[in-house]
Structure 1
């Protein structure tokens, strides 16, 4: 290959392996090569920031609600405490339930045809999110 990698192809399989690879190679899209290097690099940086945010947003949320209330501004602290009083689950279980629900919606949307899957994902997320907040199974994450 042109980037110094070796491709391993298997007969009858649509997949291939490339070696050696680094973690940054997983953030490169083939479409990046058709753009200028500035725009392609910008999109790669956005992908990396998005992965870091998705990895750390839930643990930070659980940590703040469980151990570090002093990080929350005083204006929001009163509404946060009053809304947490009605939630029967600890923040860890709340986050796990929300993560599983979001993952189930994503998988269901990916298995449906394109237009229906996108609509199902958006509407399902809104309906289930609103239902969990109204049922006091979780607090609204929009407080932050």
Structure 2
């Protein structure tokens, strides 16, 4: 099935994806103390540019990163060549942003619930201590 150029195509994409993940990890490391929303706003566009695939030519079966294809099409066709690559980039950006926002909201709800449980347990402990003191008198 994958003979000749097929294997090299998948090897190149595997290497490209691995390097992209390493770059994202390196970008995220200095931002580890930053707000999660800021991390989301800065890393999602980078991930979108790196990982959105697009066919090299409309009738081609080979895929490349959409940002690179757009650069080559701008050189060949001018700004009108950019439209074909811009649509998948925008859709990928919106999709990744929705996924990221939903994950952050889920995490924030869980952390709020944990904080509420901790505070309610503290109140219960204080009340039992006060009750014990009143019984001793």
TM > 0.5: no
**Larger helix proportion, structure 1 or 2?**
2
Give the TM-score of the pair, scaled to structure 1: 0.29
Query: Which has more radius of gyration?
Result: 2
